[in-house]
Amino acid sequence: MAVSFLNLVLRLCLLRGNMRTAAAFFAMVLLTAPAPAALRNLERMTVSGSDYVRLAEWAESAGCAMKWNKKDREIDVSGPSARLNFSVDSRRAEISGVSVWLCLPVINRSGVPWISLTDVGSTIEPVISPHKSQARVQTVCLDPGHGGVDTGEAQGRNYEKKYTLLLARETAGLLLEHGFQVVMTRTNEGAVELSERPQLAARRGADVFVSLHYNAADPSVHGVEVFCVAPPGVNSSDAGGGKAIHPAETGNAQDNRNVLLAYHVLKSIAHSLPLEDLGLKRSRFEVLRLARMPAILIEGGFLSNPAEAKTIYDPAFRKRMAHAIVDGIVAYKEAVAPP
């Protein structure tokens, strides 16, 4: 099917408000779309219902070289645009120094490392070989998490909803300075339904959607993580990944752009701020599932960690975070722009 035809069908479904039809249509497209020629020619092995290819053969087809340190179970793949690191029997990987959680683990079969086709097609190649297009990246929708009676995480009188709004305002100002247009799902303490947030972004013509949050866990946990919607047929990262019965969602129409946007924003944050890189992850948060444009959700630190909470409350650090987010969006825009 031609890309223009797919876009036309999606627009018709969405204009008529038929989200189920749109999701079902893209489920069919994602399951039947032909793989790139290089991938089609690779030998496959099915493991627990998922197709795998030899990591070395995929690396060669992508113009990369692979080196496997069997003692440490570490695999390095180097190419013209990126260096990748994998660990056998692990979902955690690195792309040019940025932590990325795979949907399925790299496995060892008879002394040969294999990687899932799902991760090659929806995690690795969209980042190291992004598709160029004329699609504009001009209007950014910022979504300050929570609001109203939904305070989000609370540490005493310090509410997540307050600090996501402050970060959104800081980020909006910097985006405007860079020539972007900005849409915000909320500009005050008021509540906005989750389902309304991506709909508002679509109505206002947003080209990307960035939801801002802060995290909570055991007080010892700290760091930053960036989420994009999970591909069809796999679990969310925090659910352990792996194959599962999950249909395509509206947000999956932008899978390649979602992961590329998440990667560049996380890379910018992790490389410019003293925050632990917890990785690019997949989820099924409602705002990501329903987004009609490339969409990510940033967890910019842990309010539950006393030391990290101080940086969240600090206006100077907040400005640095906003700069990093904007730099990541700029890098994404440059990555997809035609030569």
Signed CA dihedral, 273, 276, 280, 284: sign only: negative
pLDDT of 34 strictly over 90 = no
Q: Span 172-199, mean pLDDT?
A: 97
**Class at the top of the CATH hierarchy for domain 37-128:** alpha beta
Q: DSSP letters along 103-120, please?
A: SS--EEETTEEEEEHHHI
pLDDT digits (tens, 9 = 90+) for 81-131: 899 999 999 999 999 999 999 999 999 999 999 999 999 999 999 999 999
- Tell me the pLDDT of the chain averaged across its residues: 91
Strand arrangement, sheet containing 74-78: 65-69, 74-78, 83-87, 92-95, 98-101, 277-283, 224-229, 295-302, 208-215, 139-144, 181-184
Give the CATH architecture of domain 139-336. 3-Layer(aba) Sandwich (3.40)
Closest CA to 143 of 298, 305, 306: 298
Domain boundaries, given as residue ranges, for the chain: 3-32, 37-128, 139-336
Mean pLDDT calculated for residue range 301-325? 98
* Average pLDDT for 201-212: 98
* Type of residue numbered 326: V
pTM over 0.75: yes
**Average of pLDDT values for 44-63?**
94
Q: Which of 170, 164, 280 is nearest to 223 (CA)?
A: 280
Pairing state between β 74-78 and 139-144 = unpaired
Q: At what angle do helices 315-336 and 306-313 cross, to 10 degrees?
A: 80
At 41 the pLDDT is 80
Query: In Å, how far from its chain's centre is CA 189?
Result: 27
Q: Judge whether residue 22 has pLDDT over 60.
A: no
Give residue 70's pLDDT.
79
CA distance 46 to 211: 36
pLDDT tens profile 230-273 = 999 999 999 999 999 999 999 999 999 999 999 999 999 999 99
